[in-house]
Amino acid sequence: MLEPLKEQVCQANLDLVSAGLVTLTWGNASGLSDDRRLMVIKPSGVPYDRMRPSHMVVVDIQSGRVAEGDLKPSSDTATHRLLYQRFEAVGGVTHTHSPKATAFAQARRALPAFGTTHADHFYGPVPVTRPLTAAEIDQAYEHNTGEVILEAFTGADPMAVPAVLVAGHAPFAWGADAAESVKNAIALEACAAMALDSLLLQPDLGPVEPYLLDKHYRRKHGPDAYYGQS
């Protein structure tokens, strides 16, 4: 079942290691089937150097039940499921504990758009969620993690800023498929690293001018984009 998607999702998880975004088994990537009924996700706690496409777990989006696979799915499965259910353009989700982006999440601080590198990928600041309450953590932690992510994007386009910082936790990123979600996670970590260095040099630094943000984002995204090859 979904063998090509299993291969894609397995490769996306391995790409997280290659990009230096994963320590031990801290991270996961998933991908959604074309009919948006099933997701394929990394198994929980399996070392990346042993991971194969056959280890990927197929999960029913609506019920959350395992549709295929002998291993337990990632402990973050409920968060992935909720993002797929509510963000209609998302076909891949990545969660990491990459150091610089996680530093912003642990500081409970949004990642400002300080320059054009950020603007190339994110149309404005990457938001930070509110902290979960004790009851939300106790009752349905992973599902409620998804709920606070959704709250952070109320009235906003999740594809214009395809990432979030979960307060006290770590980042999530997403995209049209698993590979794109990994690319956005890589971009998020790079932007967070640059932001930390920028704040060391200029602690009172403000965001980049809106017209420069617009120019860099729109030259790569949308109907008037002209970056790259047609």
Angle at 121 between CA 43 and CA 164, to 5 degrees: 50
Q: CB atoms < 10 A from the CB of 187, how many?
A: 20
9: nearest Cα among 35, 33, 42: 42
Distant-in-sequence, close-in-space partners of 198: CB < 8 Å, separation ≥ 6: 114, 115, 205
Helix (H, G, I), strand (E, B) or coil at 111: strand
Q: Is 227 a catalytic residue?
A: yes
Mark whether 214 is an active-site residue: no
Euclidean distance between CA atoms 100 and 42, whole angstroms: 23
Catalytic residue among 120, 123, 141, 226: 120
- Specify whether the CB–CB gap between 102 and 171 falls below 8 A: yes
What's the DSSP call for residue 21? -
**Catalytic choice (138, 197, 214, 227):** 227
CB neighbours of 64 closer than 8 A, spacing ≥ 6? 77, 78, 81
Give me the helices (H) in the chain, please: 3-18, 77-86, 99-106, 116-121, 134-152, 178-201, 210-218
Q: Which residues are catalytic?
A: 120, 227
